[in-house]
Amino acid sequence: MKEYLHDIWEAVATTAKGMRITARYGVDPRETITLQYPEERWEPSKRFRGFLYNDIKTCTSCSMCVKVCPVDCIALEAVRGADKKLVLVSYGINIGRCMYCGLCVEVCPPKSLTHTSGYEKATVSRGELILPFVFEAADEIKARVAKQVAEAAAKAEAEKAAKAEAEKAKEAETTDVSPEAPAGAKGDAPSVPEKKGVPPVAQPAAPAFAAGNPAAGDDGEKKPAQEPKGEPAKPEESPEEGGGKTE
């Protein structure tokens, strides 16, 4: 019986407490809690995680947001430009799949991806829940980037060829020596400075007769004629050396 009466008393007390709060808000006009939506809207707090927004001007196409997203709601495509940097071709966020965890915002290096205060997106088509941030056609961006890459490659080849031609011309100038070139130019034998007061060194004369060269014997000494083998030739005696007198 006591428990039954206690339950009745607790129910009356809690009902009176609730009605007191309701009566206070109903009588006092300052205690307004009803908002005339959609004419009036609550202002979300600063740390509210609303729809995602990506500033493509500062985005570096690093794909960190795509890798960290647990529900794969971010789609990104980029190509390599002429300056070796990535050029964003397409970027889309499916807010119908997003769970607003904020991981992509935390890992974004340039902080181009942020949460906004938006939370209203009523639609009858799921395709409208995909928010695009690159409004130019992907094919046009790819064609423009490919043209820039080709022009940069052609310019680099032209500069390389011009540099090679300049090096060849420089080598040709250094190797070709003119006969009228002044002393000390490249290709001339280095001159030996003469010392003052020192007589020039006499060089030994070359032998007049070269061995095996009969033409050189005309200017030098004549060799004696070789005698034939056998008895030696007797010298002829003059009549004066004969020892006898002729009558």
Give the whole-angstrom CA distance, residue 24 versus residue 39: 26
Q: Select the CATH number that applies to the domain covering 52-142 from these four: 3.30.70.3270, 3.40.50.1110, 3.30.930.10, 3.30.470.20.
A: 3.30.70.3270
Residue 246 binned pLDDT confidence (cut-offs 50, 70, 90): very low
Q: How do the domains of the chain map onto residue ranges?
A: 52-142
Quote the mean pLDDT of the chain: 77
Mean pLDDT of 119-142: 91
Residue with the bigger pLDDT between 172 and 52: it is: 52
Tell me the H-state helices in 138-203.
138-175
Cα–Cα–Cα angle for 50, 55, 57, nearest 5°?
180
Helix or strand or coil: residue 27? helix
Indicate if the pLDDT at residue 211 is higher than 60.
no
Q: Tokens 């280095």 map to which residue?
A: 190
Q: Which residues contact 68 (CB under 8 A, 6 or more apart)?
A: 103, 104, 107
| pLDDT, position 174 | 83
Residue 90 binned pLDDT confidence (cut-offs 50, 70, 90): very high
Measured between its terminal Cα atoms, the distance across the chain in Å is: 212
| pLDDT, position 34 | 73
Indicate if the pLDDT at residue 177 is higher than 90.
no
pTM above 0.85, yes or no: no
Beta bridge partners, 114, equal 53
Strands in 74-80's sheet, in edge-to-edge order, are 74-80, 86-94, 130-132
Percent of residues, the chain, with pLDDT higher than 70: 68
Residue with the bigger pLDDT between 50 and 200: it is: 50
Mean pLDDT of 139-155: 92
